[in-house]
Structure 1
Amino acid sequence: MEGYIVTISITILIYMLLAGGLSLQYGFTGLINFGHVGFFAIGAYTSALLAMQGVPILICMVAATAFAAVFAFPLGMIALRLRGDYLAIVTLGFSESVRMMLQKEEWLTHGVHGIPGIPRLFGNGPSADLWILATLVIVNIIVFAGIKGIIKSPFGRVIGAIRDNEVAVRALGKDPARFKTRSLAIGAALAGLAGAFQAHYLTFISPEQFVPLITFYVWMAIIMGGVNRLSGVVVGTVMLVGFLEGSRFLREIFPGVSEVQLSSVRFWIIGMALICTMLYRPEGLFGERKTVKK
């Protein structure tokens, strides 16, 4: 039971890094990014491929974070001049292009067979998972403190203004595209870091681990918790993974339900939770309530 709790906690903390990056992009900048999992995949494969060549894991993880951020800049230059639905479509296409490349470039990524035997963070000792968990806790604290600092900085005030009224920001002589690109890069870097942790925790990665569904899971987490509240990101991520893992035990309650049916029930539960959130608390559990002045 202890091992299961540690595993779930590690999963929550990895998703929390993903959610923190997406919250910065959407909740604080207004960018609709449906391709977040693409940067997650870039980080995972970068760190894994370097580690397989004998590069120290710490350097691999730093490289994964940096490489994911670098990849965001050309995408930002192209896509961030678009708005709303168009940006969402472009970023979704980007993530699928990354996944297809990982499948086709077998000489580098081993294609659909994936990469096994990735060096594990802190080795394979009995306390390795606890060390990974402790490291993720520290990294998340640093990351969320950094995001909070960004939000309160002059840069943070500009991206907040872009989210609320981009036309007004242009009128003040600021270039929104430059600020949005930097915000996209920071969020991508966090996704790349999360991917590196994923690779060195599971020790195996394949393209099928980076499907668009992962992005939408993260979207569910920040919507349920509150898109512009860091506390909401934390609670929303815990709720999401709690729903995903808790629904696995439905088979004990309904023994006649098959695996395929159980998977559908899990999606139904998550969907209903999201619908109820949008109906009764559209700003999220920790979002600001909007009051109407009479």
Structure 2
Amino acid sequence: MVIYFVFLTISAATYALFSLGLNLQWGVTGLINFGHVAFMAIGAYSTVLLSLQGVPIPIAVLVGAGLSALLGLLIGISTLRLREDYLGIVTIGVSELVRLVAKNEAWLTKGTFGVQGYPVPFDFKPDYPTRILLIVWLTAICGVALWQLWLWLRVKISARLLGGSIASIFVLTVYVCGALSLYTYDPRAGLMLLTLTTLTVVYIALEKLVHSPWGRVLKAIREDEEVPRALGKNVFWYKLQAFMLGGAIAGISGAFYAWQFSVFPDNFEPLITFNAWIIIMLGGAGNNLGTIIGAIVFWGYNTITRDESFKVVFRALHLDDTQQGAFRVMIIGLVLMLIMVLRPQGILGKKEELTLGR
């Protein structure tokens, strides 16, 4: 049970990191990206292929992030001057192009067999002092998370209280399960610690950027790009920066996705992108902490509905395995429709953050 929760934590943190990149592009800047998974695929393949060639893992991850940013540059230069709907079409096309290249260029990506046997971080057996140090490290990360939640909950909004309570319980459970796993030591516990650390660093950096003058220009572009243009801002350059940075973050998440799951072309289908859209809509567009909480809620739902006790409901409805999967997706679709009608800013977002519905 403890190891399974560690798996759940890594998955939620990886998707949260992936969704933060999309949130910067769409939630903050207003750029529609339906092919965000392409950046994740570039990051995943670059990291594992380079590490197999003996490149140190940190450098491989940075190269993957750089190549993902380069892909953002190439897409942005050619499409960011177009209308938003054209950008969405181009991005989903690019994501499928990347997946098909990975599937067919076996000389580079191993094709449909995928990449296997690559090194992963923290795959060692630490001594007792090192395990204690790792537990202290986890304590610091969870302490930062609880502190950020407390700051966020000072504004007593019912939706925030609900989301904050869920996130607080999740953080405390992560700490208990993580500390137990680190003490007995399982390599997945080390990966969990690295994932949470990366997520924390990226979150803090994005919060500083979004609330800086640079971030305020991005929000102005999202609301009405003619206003910052009239004030002398280079709107295209700001859009390109946001698109590249969001792509680089997704590239980093691709490395964790590879270490957590596997690297096969069909693992990078458009559904991964739309899962990130679901997470952002749940958490609230433009809200970084809300995006992380949205990832927790999304993976919580995904886990609970796969549990054997919940499948009693499916059997009562006489649904087979295929129908059960479709039913779970249908429920998510209905929830999103209700959110868009009742709370277009997201369950945990602020209405004043967006002009949607005005």
Please, what TM-score do these two structures have when normalized by structure 2?
0.78
SS in 2 for 1:254: helix
SS at match of 2:351: coil
CA distance in 1 between partners of 2:312 and 2:2 (Å): 21
* Greater CA drift, 47-56 or 280-289: 280-289
- State the secondary structure of the residue aligned to 2:305: helix
Alignment of 1:186-225 (within 5 A): 186-202=245-261, 204-225=262-283
Question: Which secondary structure state, in structure 1, belongs to the residue aligned with residue 10 of structure 2?
Answer: helix
One-letter amino acid of the counterpart of residue 92, structure 1:
I
Deviation at 1:124, TM superposition (A): 6.3
**Residue type at the aligned position of 2:6:** V
**Displacement of 1:269:** 1.8
Q: What is the match of residue 10 of structure 2?
A: 10
- Of the three residues 321, 336, 346, the one matched with 1:259 is 321
Q: TM-score, normalised by structure 1?
A: 0.94
CA RMSD, aligned part only? Answer: 1.5
Following superposition, the deviation at residue 116 of structure 1 comes to 1.0
Residue type at the aligned position of 1:70: L
Correspondence 1:1-294 to 2 at 5 A = 1-123=1-123, 126-202=185-261, 204-249=262-307, 250-255=310-315, 256-289=318-351
Shift of 1:253: 3.5
Decide whether the 8 Å contact of 2:104 with 2:111 is kept in 1.
yes
Per-residue CA distance 1:161-181 (angstroms, 9 max, x = gap): 111111122222222111101
- The answer to whether the Cα contact below 8 Å between 1:122 and 1:128 also exists between their aligned partners in 2 is yes
Q: Does structure 2 conserve the Cα–Cα contact (< 8 Å) formed by 1:224 and 1:236?
A: yes
- The Cα shift of 1:59 comes to 1.3
CA radius of gyration, larger in: 2
Residue identity over aligned pairs, in percent, reads 39
How much has 1:58 moved relative to structure 2? 1.4
1:123 and 1:252, CA in 2 relative to 1: closer, same or farther beyond 3 A? farther
Following TM superposition, by how much is the alpha carbon of 1:70 offset from its aligned partner in structure 2, in angstroms? 1.6
Matched letter for residue 271 of structure 2: L
Q: Post-superposition shift, 1:159?
A: 1.0
Worse-matched range after superposition: 27-36 or 165-174: 165-174
Consecutive unaligned residues in structure 2, runs of 5 or more: 126-184
Q: Distance in 1 between matches of 2:245 and 2:312?
A: 42
How much has 1:211 moved relative to structure 2? Answer: 0.3
Task: Note the C-alpha offset of 1:112.
Answer: 1.2
CA contact (8 A) 1:50 1:60 kept: yes
| Mapped partners of 1:217, 1:205: distance in 2 | 18
Shift of 1:145: 0.7
Does the CA contact (< 8 Å) of 1:118 and 1:199 recur in 2?
A: no
Distance 1:119 1:20 in 2: 26
Q: How many residues are treated as equivalent by the alignment?
A: 290
Could you say what secondary structure the match of 2:13 adopts? helix
Deviates more, 1:257-266 or 1:27-36: 257-266
**C-alpha deviation, 1:188, in angstroms:** 0.4
Structure 1 residues 147-193: Cα deviation after superposition (integer angstroms, max 9, x where no partner): 11111222111111111111122222222111101100110011000
CA distance in 1, matches of 2:10, 2:230: 45
Stretch of structure 1 that moved more, 218-227 or 119-128:
119-128
Give the whole-Å Cα distance in 2 for the aligned partners of 1:32 and 1:259.
34
Residue type of the partner of 1:243?
Answer: Y
